[in-house]
Structure 1
Amino acid sequence: MKKKYGTTLIIGNGFDLNLGMVTDYRSFFKKLKADGFFTKHTNNPLLQFINAKGEKEKWYDFEGIIQEYATRSEQAVYLKMIDKLLPLIDKALDIDEESFKEIKGYKHLCGIVPEFDSVIEYTTKNNYLDFVADNDIREKCVYIKKALSQYNEEQRDLVKEAMRLLKDELVVFLKSAKINDEEKSVAFMIFFSIMGIYAAGYKGLTMKLSDYSKKCQGIFPDFKIVSFNYTDTISNLVVYLQCIKFDSRIDLETNDLKENFYRIHGALGSEVIFGIDSECDIPNAFISLRKSNHISINAKQRFSDIIENSKRIIIFGHSIYGIDYEYYADFLKKNKDTEVVVLYHNEKGKKEFENELENKGVTRKINYEYIVISNHFFEFCENIAKDQRLFFEKESKEKG
């Protein structure tokens, strides 16, 4: 298949952190604790479950906690049983002997509806024909079904409330995150190199971007920057460079990039999306926790199409293990042609990355580049920009 993109940049939270922005999960959790968020919502089991897990470092840890709640918490166990028991009761009352026999296997639900115990006891002493003919039992079953359905609805509402509250807090937290120039970040260099723009130093880059944005007038060649972040990356970078107060002005906004800048999980100005990615076994009441309920139905396919049709992908600050691995799984195992470059900020992080890929059985070659202010990294960025410009020119000629 003909490649459509030269180099595609994939950015995650580590990109913002490299810019000195406070956007990590640990800081978010600490803020929630300090603001008394969990104390205000003691009646919400999901929020208390998150609180009990304490500080974690990565955002995929946070989503892993939500997944654990949705699959293994006491509420999840109850709800899975309810999903199975309600149709069994209906079938048993409709003269189905097998369903009648299975009812006794759900004794655990007496913890929610104590009256259910008498129905279970009835099934051990009587046959299914007696069960169907007993009006008192029928009335008890109606009551039990209603009580279990009410529990189901309550838990559904509680997880929806928890996610809404967390999203509201997250938006406030991330909107306060600013680029810190004391960090001496190099993130902006690789970001704009993907657009075919490179110049050493803030001033040089600002002048290049100013000239580029005027010439392009919102029309950009084919490239892809895929963001798993909610922050407004382009605006943050442009505002930062403008604040340095060079003579050149950059007229460039996120919307100018259109489909060249593709968001996976939404944005602060619209909807932030987090939750469970995998098709794990969760009760029906927790369906709202799935990202697929909020994210574009073809988001994963679009992501797959982008990386499959790129000559090179550069991963900057996005973990490809934990829940996030699902986005890359098929690509890493099947695609051997696309070059994969992972940017890392220390040896420990690089080793964790390598170990996780090894644990997943990934044997393909991965190139690593150290994120640090150095001539080697500047040369790396310059080469990417040159490759992109050559690729753009070649594509333009082929298109006629």
Structure 2
Amino acid sequence: MTHTDDIQTEEGYTPFSLLILGNGFDKDLGMKTAYRDFAESTFWPFTNLSNKDQGSLACFLNERKEDVNTWFDLEELLAEFAQNINKTIEQAEKDFQDLDKVIKSLKEYLQAQEDEFCKKMDTTMHAKRDTPARNVLQKIIRNKKEYKIYTFNYTNVYRIARKIILEAEGKMFFHIHGSIRDNNIILGTGDQREINPAYFGFYKSANSSYASSNLVEDLAEADEVYIFGHSLGTNDHDYFYDFFQDCIHYHKENNCKRKIRIFTYDVNSELEIKKQLMKLTNKHLIGLYAHCDVKILRTCREYQDSWMLKDDF
């Protein structure tokens, strides 16, 4: 019997809640964890390239980094590079070395960001500052009796959470793509991308550190799903597709709908989220709203008070 079966048949049933975190969570807390921030920092590994680097991953990333009008997403760029490059396995070896350099430098950069955040949280003024990310995390941990928290971020989510709310328990937190704490961050592209076979190692699932998680199963069981700062982008569709397919056909007695809350920054990011939801529901977004209790909540200052000041959202 599933959680969703239990909720309508057993008195006193406790809803099972999931909180899923993306990079927008860390950014909302004040950490500069966007890939663009990393690329423009002193931690960026490719600063002195020569002519012999032409056609390499390092050169490709540097060219894209210099285009300030383009969204700089490392994982999307890895997919684009591996899709369009024509090299043999032997020729690709240098690019895998470049990828290793990126991962090493990214780990060091994010560790510095995490350490700086924790240091700030030890000061009274910063610790009292409320943000949407803190607000959501506190409400989940304090108000939900049965919950799990999954993060797609590499920063140590439990360490961060403990700086925000002391009641946080380590056993409730799970990393999907590794963490800097465990020195196993997984940077790459999703399985659904068609790339040059010589770059098979660019797939996240090909990484030796890639491990199974219960996210897909927990999504299927969840009564309440909260997604904060995750774009639901193509590289992570494998984790969410089954869930949203189930949601558009989901029906329960007594109008007890599955609750879905998606927290995103502003109007533009909300539209991007809806574009992804349109893909994940096979162009049946109306069905998602019809069968579930869905709200997309904006976290920018103009809109955050409309939901942050309430006991629940």
**TM beyond 0.5:** yes
Match of 1:378 in 2: 309
**Separation in structure 2 between the aligned mates of residue 290 and residue 352 of structure 1, nearest angstrom:** 24
Match of 1:352 among 251, 264, 272: 272
Q: Does 2:109 match 1:173? A: yes
- For 1:131-146, list aligned pairs within 5 A: none
Q: Does 2:144 match 1:194? A: no
Is the CA contact (8 Å cut-off) linking 2:188 and 2:202 kept in structure 1? yes
Match of 1:37 in 2: 46
SS in 2 for 1:68: helix
Q: Highest relative contact order (Cα 8 Å, sep 6+), 1 or 2? A: 1
**Separation in structure 1 between the aligned mates of residue 231 and residue 36 of structure 2, nearest angstrom:** 16
- What is the Cα deviation at residue 367 of structure 1? 1.3
CA spacing shift, 1:279–1:368, aligned 2, 3 Å: closer
CA spacing shift, 1:282–1:376, aligned 2, 3 Å: closer
Match of 2:59 in 1: 48
Counterpart of 2:283 in structure 1: which amino acid? Answer: G
- What is the Cα deviation at residue 184 of structure 1? 4.4
Give the number of equivalent residue pairs. Answer: 267
Q: Does 2:189 match 1:276? A: yes
Counterpart of 2:237 in structure 1: which amino acid? Answer: Y
- What is the Cα deviation at residue 345 of structure 1? 2.4
Match of 2:98 in 1: 162
**Separation in structure 1 between the aligned mates of residue 297 and residue 194 of structure 2, nearest angstrom:** 38
Match of 2:32 among 22, 25, 37: 22
- What is the Cα deviation at residue 48 of structure 1? 1.2
Counterpart of 1:190 in structure 2: which amino acid? Answer: V
Is the CA contact (8 Å cut-off) linking 1:370 and 1:377 kept in structure 2? no
Q: Does 2:235 match 1:298? A: no
Q: Does 2:276 match 1:326? A: no
Return 5+ residue gaps in structure 2 as ranges: 5-14, 121-125, 251-257
**Separation in structure 2 between the aligned mates of residue 228 and residue 222 of structure 1, nearest angstrom:** 21
Is the CA contact (8 Å cut-off) linking 2:19 and 2:228 kept in structure 1? yes
Match of 1:309 in 2: 221
Match of 2:3 in 1: 3
Is the CA contact (8 Å cut-off) linking 1:11 and 1:229 kept in structure 2? yes
**Separation in structure 2 between the aligned mates of residue 276 and residue 188 of structure 1, nearest angstrom:** 29
Residues 24-74 of structure 1, C-alpha deviation per residue, up to 9 Å, x if partnerless?
Answer: 111111126x8662424763711111222235546xx32111111112123
CA spacing shift, 1:292–1:334, aligned 2, 3 Å: same
Match of 1:64 in 2: 76
**Separation in structure 1 between the aligned mates of residue 129 and residue 151 of structure 2, nearest angstrom:** 21
Counterpart of 2:101 in structure 1: which amino acid? Answer: L
Residues 289-343 of structure 1, C-alpha deviation per residue, up to 9 Å, x if partnerless?
Answer: 11002254534xx221011110011110001123223321222123344322111
**Separation in structure 1 between the aligned mates of residue 31 and residue 129 of structure 2, nearest angstrom:** 9
Is the CA contact (8 Å cut-off) linking 2:22 and 2:229 kept in structure 1? yes
**Separation in structure 1 between the aligned mates of residue 297 and residue 45 of structure 2, nearest angstrom:** 41
Counterpart of 1:46 in structure 2: which amino acid? Answer: L
Match of 1:74 in 2: 86
Is the CA contact (8 Å cut-off) linking 2:135 and 2:308 kept in structure 1? no
Is the CA contact (8 Å cut-off) linking 1:24 and 1:57 kept in structure 2? no
Q: What RMSD in Å do the two structures reach over aligned CA positions?
A: 2.9
**Separation in structure 2 between the aligned mates of residue 190 and residue 343 of structure 1, nearest angstrom:** 9
Match of 1:367 in 2: 295
Return 5+ residue gaps in structure 1 as ranges: 80-151, 199-220, 242-249, 385-400
CA spacing shift, 1:282–1:358, aligned 2, 3 Å: closer
TM-score normalized by the length of structure 1 = 0.60
SS in 2 for 1:368: strand
Is the CA contact (8 Å cut-off) linking 2:261 and 2:297 kept in structure 1? yes
- For 1:146-295, list aligned pairs within 5 A: 152-155=89-92, 157-177=93-113, 178-179=116-117, 181=126, 184-197=130-143, 222-239=146-163, 250=166, 256-258=169-171, 260-270=172-182, 271-294=184-207, 295=209
Is the CA contact (8 Å cut-off) linking 1:230 and 1:267 kept in structure 2? yes
SS in 2 for 1:31: coil
Is the CA contact (8 Å cut-off) linking 1:333 and 1:362 kept in structure 2? no
Is the CA contact (8 Å cut-off) linking 1:46 and 1:69 kept in structure 2? yes
**Separation in structure 1 between the aligned mates of residue 3 and residue 29 of structure 2, nearest angstrom:** 31
**Separation in structure 2 between the aligned mates of residue 28 and residue 341 of structure 1, nearest angstrom:** 29
Is the CA contact (8 Å cut-off) linking 2:18 and 2:149 kept in structure 1? yes
Is the CA contact (8 Å cut-off) linking 2:157 and 2:173 kept in structure 1? no
